[in-house]
């Protein structure tokens, strides 16, 4: 079976964009690949995180993996910081990455813009991201539009290392989904749904109450013609809502368009809210059962052990290939 690795950074409250772009995929892909789903807590600290908040959010993401339907008996679920091989291989791969490559990373430009000081980790973390993937000899990585550049760097670093030291790493392929990979803000369809948006109605969080979800969708921007039609060029706001409906209902866009033909946006937005609520409620219930439980502790400890057993031989092979003394 081919192997897959992916993770969600615990740097804020997860919104439905994280469900559409990641969690929903993970639940499906665990049946098709040998899957490793981790919480990249080391990536979160490239910018300051309140320690207590980081601790809880890390548990929250892991709990959401399970609550959404990832089976810890089928997939390996673990925390990045619990597998030291990530950091060690990250350092080895920094010797292969080029300054110019890292300087061109779009996310670094965006996150550092206007900042008086920027940590060196924010600059080099794409190499740690490459180590995350290459440690497990992953054949495939699910990526959204904003991560394509980082996966290209991973592929370049792997090929550079293999050409210089002999074949050591699998060069991974991307998995790119068409619908739901990039859910946009409810107030502005040109910007990705984000917790940093000051407009609280722009973003639906995974833990929002039914009342809040209904309120946010009722205020979602649309357009003036009243036609529920999927057309990103002419109708981006409505297209975004249709894709959210498709993600949460598991229905084809054509089915949704036909259902609301001639009905206008009022009914469509009300029923969209109910579709999202229906999907989120059992996830929320399971989340609250497990998030601070010993069951989650056990799953994460077992996951770290399994991940280390897979990562260890890759790290050893890389060190040997580079000429480092190993025993």
Indicate if 279 belongs to the active site: no
Q: Please tell me whether residue 175 adopts helix, strand or coil conformation.
A: strand
Q: Name the DSSP letter for residue 217.
A: H
Burial of residue 240 (CB within 10 Å: 0-12, 13-18, 19+) is: buried
Q: What is the structure's pLDDT at 264?
A: 86
pLDDT in tens, 53-83: 999 999 999 999 999 999 999 999 999 999 9
Indicate if 192 belongs to the active site: yes
Per-residue pLDDT averaged across 6-18, rounded? 91
- Which of 85, 79, 81, 86 lies closest to 297, judged by CA? 79
Per-residue pLDDT averaged across 165-182, rounded? 89
pTM as predicted: 0.93
Q: What is the structure's pLDDT at 118?
A: 85
- Candidates 195, 279, 319, 320; catalytic one: 195
**Terminal Cα distance for the chain, rounded:** 31
| Rg of the chain, C-alpha, whole Å | 21
CA distance 307 to 317: 16
CA distance 41 to 7: 10
- Which of 325, 313, 1 lies closest to 169, judged by CA? 313
Q: What is the structure's pLDDT at 144?
A: 76
pLDDT in tens, 177-216: 877 778 999 999 999 898 778 888 999 999 999 999 999 9
Q: What is the structure's pLDDT at 198?
A: 81
Longest dimension (CA), the chain: 72
Q: Which two tokens stand for residue 311?
A: 């990562």
Q: What is the structure's pLDDT at 15?
A: 94
Q: Name the DSSP letter for residue 113.
A: T
For a pLDDT cut of 70, what percent of the chain falls above it? 99
- Candidates 192, 216, 235, 269; catalytic one: 192
Indicate if 200 belongs to the active site: no
Could you list the beta-strand ranges (E) of the chain. Answer: 3-7, 34-39, 76-79, 140-142, 173-175
Contact 3, 132 (CB under 8 A): no
* Torsion-angle region of 161 (φ positive above 0: left; ψ -120 to 50: alpha; else: beta): alpha
Q: Which two tokens stand for residue 61?
A: 């993401």
Q: What is the structure's pLDDT at 209?
A: 97
């Amino acid at each position: 079976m081919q192997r897959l690795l992916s993770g969600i950074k615990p740097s804020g409250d997860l919104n439905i964009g994280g469900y559409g772009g990641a969690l929903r995929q993970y639940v499906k892909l665990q049946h098709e690949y040998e899957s490793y789903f981790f919480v990249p807590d080391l990536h979160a600290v490239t910018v300051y995180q309140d320690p207590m908040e980081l601790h809880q959010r890390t548990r929250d993401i892991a709990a959401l993996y399970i609550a959404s339907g990832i089976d810890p008996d089928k997939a390996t679920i673990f925390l990045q910081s619990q597998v030291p091989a990530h950091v060690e291989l990250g350092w080895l791969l920094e010797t292969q990455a080029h300054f110019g490559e890292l300087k061109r990373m779009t996310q670094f430009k965006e996150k550092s813009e206007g900042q008086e000081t920027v940590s060196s980790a924010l600059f080099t973390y794409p190499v740690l991201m490459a180590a995350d993937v290459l440690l497990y000899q992953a054949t495939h990585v699910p990526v959204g539009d904003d991560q394509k550049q980082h996966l290209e760097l991973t592929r370049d670093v792997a090929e550079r290392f293999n050409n210089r030291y002999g074949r050591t790493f699998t060069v991974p392929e991307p998995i790119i989904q068409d619908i739901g990979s990039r859910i946009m803000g409810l107030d502005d369809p040109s910007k990705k749904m984000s917790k940093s948006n000051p407009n609280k109605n722009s973003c639906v969080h995974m833990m929002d109450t039914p009342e809040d979800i209904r309120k946010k969708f009722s205020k979602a921007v649309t357009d003036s013609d009243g036609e529920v039609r999927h057309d990103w060029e002419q109708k981006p706001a409505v297209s975004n809502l249709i894709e959210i409906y498709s993600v949460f209902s598991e229905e084809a866009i054509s089915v949704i368009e036909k259902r609301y033909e001639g009905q206008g946006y009022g009914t469509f937005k009300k029923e969209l809210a109910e579709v999202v609520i229906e999907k989120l409620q059992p996830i929320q219930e399971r989340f609250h059962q497990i998030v601070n439980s010993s069951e989650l502790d056990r799953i994460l400890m077992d996951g770290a052990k399994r991940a280390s057993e897979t990562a260890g031989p890759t790290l050893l092979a890389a060190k040997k290939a580079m000429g480092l003394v190993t025993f």
